[in-house]
Structure 1
């Protein structure tokens, strides 16, 4: 008799599991949202964990006047080859491969980007020696050479003196950081006018519209020997 009484309970259990199509969709969407939020949180923590901060003592030099309502950020693409970047060749020291000034209007969020050619010949200010850097006397040289002699602070000073722009912050990214950021946004769509085969940049691309992942994007921005 006990066995016979168990049947209605099983039937009742089955009855409670008969969800409508809308309920099933709601359950699936909720589960996906939870998974996505956990994945996003993990991605965010991984990204934040890869960011280090540094303090630049800007009181050591005479600075241009700041403009109220404008924030200027020096963006540096570093060619450092230490750590994970060692696979991209051997180069002593560290220089900005690229330098941009991002000028942001804090009221409306509008931003203007100004590129500073790395081989621009300028009058460089002197920099004191610091840990890991020998310092330099005032001299004429490429604008990106300041960081080799005095680190980020020396480069910051050089950019301010050459441009007359008051910098508020800096952001520096190495090869691996660039690659990871491109992958984080799902790649970059590019239209390649002609096929590229650049052994020095480890890059082979067909012509045409295509989505470049982080590795190919890094190779593309570093490629110059095969593209004239």
Structure 2
């Protein structure tokens, strides 16, 4: 079955170029020219949303916020802005990755393949599939399904993005072990670590805490070990 990608971009030339590239790689491509149209096309069959940040009307940031209310489909931002604050804002609202314009098609294709591969490995299963004991890790009230993106905290299921899930699985699988930002980034994103990557990790840790900690300001599940990194418990 072909992976389905929704390309949301108000520039028709860029949208067409991305569509032609992805279709040549065997992907099924849907197109939207606005945030509102993008939201109308979101469904469980999507494997990736490519989302332009700067669009008239509902911009990409706002669109991503709405997507995250009902879906954990990966979101890859396309942005003409290269300031660190703009990239971090995209990650904070639920984006999984970003690519600054102008970009090469080879770089875009590499990021698309990485996001879809991760999503296919870790995306959630239907609710009727009951987690077997040996398929789960449970510590400190957090229960994580190892074969798909499903997590429960104190018995209630929480929705995590693919990146958040991968970070949590890394940490909870090795309690008391301290992971540096470099180790987390290279393990989860599977890309070389750069100085700015530490901020990317920090943003996702913050979002993860908001979802699983009773008091994110005083975390007890994911702790910061100053000068060293992060650990679970």
| Superposition TM-score, scaled by structure 1 size | 0.26
- Larger RCO (CA under 8 A, 6+ residues apart): 1
